[in-house]
Amino acid sequence: MIEFPDLPYAKDALAPVISARTLEFHHGKHHKKYVETANQIIAGTELENEPLETIVKKAAADPAKTALFNNAAQVWNHNFYWQCLKHGGGGAPTGAVASKIKEVWGSPEKFFEELKNAGVSQFGSGYAWLVLEGGGLKVTKTANADNPLVHGQKPLLAIDVWEHAYYLDYQNLRADYLSAVIDKLINWDFVNSCLAS
């Protein structure tokens, strides 16, 4: 049984960057539906009591389990995305990840530019990510439910660029949503905790 976690903050905590109405739909309808559908698929199967990460990896490895992968990975992605954001976050990276970003990109600005480009250039639905791969940091993008975990990468930061993540607040202006999240919401403590884990 896959859990449907509460948001780690109040629904209006990320406003005005992400409105309470967006979170009401994004968490309360979209995220919830992914949990319900994934649970329907695993009910009575050998995956029923497996941890979510195991379900995601096993479904990714089995072409007959595409629907399960899509829904279970979307649960994982949303559980992760909520934690990547916080009221009063954003701006310059802090802690150990700040040093690593400086090593790779030279400055936070260059890193943000690449992260934003990844999100803007993702055609259709998906995510922009900061991941750890072979000990080094890398910016990536994935389509739909796809997730770095199944590509041998460790996710450190995710920004959801599905239209449901920003359309109520920014309409078609995905770049404005990405800039606002980067400037005001990234939870660097969480990113550092992922790096350390």
Q: Which residues bind Mn ion (CB under 5 A)?
A: 160, 162
Nearer to Mn ion, 162 or 170 (CB): 162
Closest among 78, 83, 85 to 164, alpha carbons compared: 78
3 state DSSP class of 133: strand
Find the shortest distance in angstroms from Cβ 40 to Mn ion: 19
List alpha helices for the chain, DSSP H. 20-25, 32-42, 52-60, 66-83, 95-105, 108-121, 163-170, 174-184, 188-196
Amino acid at 101: I
Nearer to Mn ion, 18 or 130 (CB): 18
Find the shortest distance in angstroms from Cβ 122 to Mn ion: 13
Find the shortest distance in angstroms from Cβ 14 to Mn ion: 14
Find the shortest distance in angstroms from Cβ 64 to Mn ion: 25
Find the shortest distance in angstroms from Cβ 46 to Mn ion: 28
Nearer to Mn ion, 101 or 149 (CB): 149
Nearer to Mn ion, 68 or 159 (CB): 159
Is the peptide bond preceding residue 16 cis, with omega within 30 degrees of 0?
yes
Residue showing the smallest CB distance to Mn ion in the complex = 160
- What is the C-alpha separation between 80 and 186, in angstroms, rounded? 12
Nearer to Mn ion, 160 or 169 (CB): 160
Contact 109, 126 (CB under 8 A): no
